[in-house]
Amino acid sequence: MRKKVACVVGARPNFMKIAPILEALEPYSEEIGCRLIHTGQHYDERLSSLLFRQLELPEPDMYLGVGSGTHARQTADVMVAFEDDCLREKPDATLVVGDVNSTVACGLVSAKLQIPVVHVEAGLRSRDRTMPEEINRIVTDALSDLLFTTCREADRNLLAEGVPAGKIHFVGNVMIDSLRKFLPKSRPPAVLERLPDRSRFGAITLHRPSNVDDPSILRNLLGAFADISERLPLVFSTHPRTVTRLKELGHDEVDVLAEEGTRLGDSHVWLTPPLGYLEFLYLLDHATVVLTDSGGIQEEATVLQTPCLTLRENTERPITLEQGTNILVGRDPKAILEKLEFILSNGFPEPKIPEKWDGNSSAEIAQILAEWLRKQPGN
Ligand code: UD1
């Protein structure tokens, strides 16, 4: 009997993870029917539809339309809507990716309905429970029946938490599958035309509440960016949360954010609206350095061999520190400037590409998932 798998996405970083998995499951379409569910956690054209088109994702089979809210409200809204969908559609498994609120919400609904949960990108741990994603990771992994990991350390984390070894499969990194597929199609964002030298710039992304919600922290970071931009022009792909905070700090220039860049004050920091996946890949690939508080970008920078200064105190992706191009710099402007100086003058030692980050992770997931589903009783 054909098995039905509910494949869940909610926020931007989910889309590049689900795309290669859906593609890898296509050859199994006689035995596995995938239903793509978009919770609507991210709903903007630039955070959602644009990426769907660029990643060649099919239209979602179901759009839950939950939108923004507090953590409890957003998680609860996803749960109520997804439960209705599960009761109607009766999937044989739910596949969730990453660590966003939609991931944990759908994992919890499924587990309570006794629908097995498959988690892709399991086992990452920052050990920092002030980070909402860490709570999402721990809970989702505890609920999951099949866990796919990106690195050996994630396996060890799961084993230490009592997850049986038989449930864990180290397959590598599906986000890197997308990166390898789409890098040849990447294209320069319009903002690069503003720069005196299109091959010499830094890239910035910043959206964590811990970096943007406290005005003094954000002001300090903006000061550091402005200082850096005296030596190296910076392109800042913004996030809606950050735009709101910039406006609160009196940066009215964000009212007219344009593709070709809007200057932050009188600095050489060029603000853009959220870039598309293809434009962002180009930016990351050609940047001298990236400054970010994202999780996934630490991994993408490692594979693209772009030095990455992570504006956080910890990371759930330590493999990018040990083998890749990532350096944790926190958010102290002095430390950020020092590390940047160091990279500009000394370059960066050649990083290693982590094991199995080779573009074949989704194919391995599809094979393991198909075998596992054959053994599951059908609904
Ligand atoms: C979410 C994820 C985070 C991920 C990030 C990538 C959680 C807990 N966080 O954070 O792990 O790194 O996505 O972007 O799941 N907003 C819009 N348009 C949208 C979506 C959001 O304007 O399409 C604004 C709203 O004001 C909203 C705020 O952004 O309140 C935050 O959105 P939310 O989905 O709660 O979390 P992110 O900060 O995007």
Residues 293 and 238 in one domain: yes
Q: For ligand 1, atom 19, name the residue with the nearest CA.
A: 42
**What is the mean predicted confidence (pLDDT) over 149-171?**
98
Supply 126's token pair.
Answer: 């920052």
Residues 31 and 103 in one domain: yes
Taking the CA of residue 11 as reference, the ligand 1 atom at the shortest distance is 13
207 among known catalytic residues: yes
Q: For ligand 1, atom 12, name the residue with the nearest CA.
A: 294
Mutate to test the pocket of ligand 1, among 41, 106, 243 (most ligand atoms within 8 A of CB): 41
| Residue 316 counted as domain residue | yes
| Residue 49 counted as domain residue | yes
Residues 90 and 22 in one domain: yes
pLDDT digits (tens, 9 = 90+) for 275-319: 999 999 999 999 999 999 999 999 999 999 999 999 999 999 999
Residues 320 and 364 in one domain: no
Residues 73 and 103 in one domain: yes
* 16 CA distance to ligand 1 middle (Å): 16
User: How far from 103 is each of 14, 135, 139, 342, 351, CA to CA, in Å?
Assistant: 9, 11, 10, 38, 31
For ligand 1, say whether the CB of 242 is within 6 Å of any of its atoms. no
| Residue 246 counted as domain residue | yes
**What is the mean predicted confidence (pLDDT) over 316-332?**
96
* 98 CA distance to ligand 1 middle (Å): 14
Q: Work out the end-to-end distance of the chain between its first and last CA atoms, rounded to an integer number of angstroms.
A: 9
Q: For ligand 1, atom 2, name the residue with the nearest CA.
A: 100
* 366 CA distance to ligand 1 middle (Å): 29
Determine contact, residues 54/84, Cβ cutoff 8 Å: no
Q: Among 23-27, 191-195, 327-331, 342-346, which is the least confidently predicted range?
A: 342-346
Other C-beta atoms lying within 10 Å of the C-beta of residue 153:
18
Residues 200 and 284 in one domain: yes
* 239 CA distance to ligand 1 middle (Å): 8
Rounded CA-CA distance 369/147 in Å is 10
Per-residue confidence (pLDDT) for residue 351, from 0 to 100: 87
The model carries a pTM of 0.97
pLDDT digits (tens, 9 = 90+) for 179-203: 999 999 999 999 999 999 999 999 9
HSE on the CB side for 362, CA within 13 Å? Answer: 24
Q: For ligand 1, atom 35, name the residue with the nearest CA.
A: 68
| Residue 24 counted as domain residue | yes
Determine contact, residues 28/115, Cβ cutoff 8 Å: no
* 41 CA distance to ligand 1 middle (Å): 7
Residues 54 and 82 in one domain: yes
For ligand 1, say whether the CB of 13 is within 6 Å of any of its atoms. yes
Domain limits for position 147: 3-173+357-374
Other C-beta atoms lying within 10 Å of the C-beta of residue 31:
13
| Residue 325 counted as domain residue | yes
Residues 211 and 135 in one domain: no
**What is the mean predicted confidence (pLDDT) over 162-166?**
98
| Residue 352 counted as domain residue | no
Q: What is the CATH number of the domain that holds 17?
A: 3.40.50.2000
Per-residue confidence (pLDDT) for residue 379, from 0 to 100: 66
pLDDT at 171 over 90: yes
**What is the mean predicted confidence (pLDDT) over 216-237?**
97
Number of domains in the chain: 2
pLDDT at 55 over 80: yes
| Catalytic, out of 42, 119, 169, 207 | 207
For ligand 1, say whether the CB of 38 is within 6 Å of any of its atoms. no
Residues 125 and 43 in one domain: yes
Mutate to test the pocket of ligand 1, among 101, 139, 206 (most ligand atoms within 8 A of CB): 101
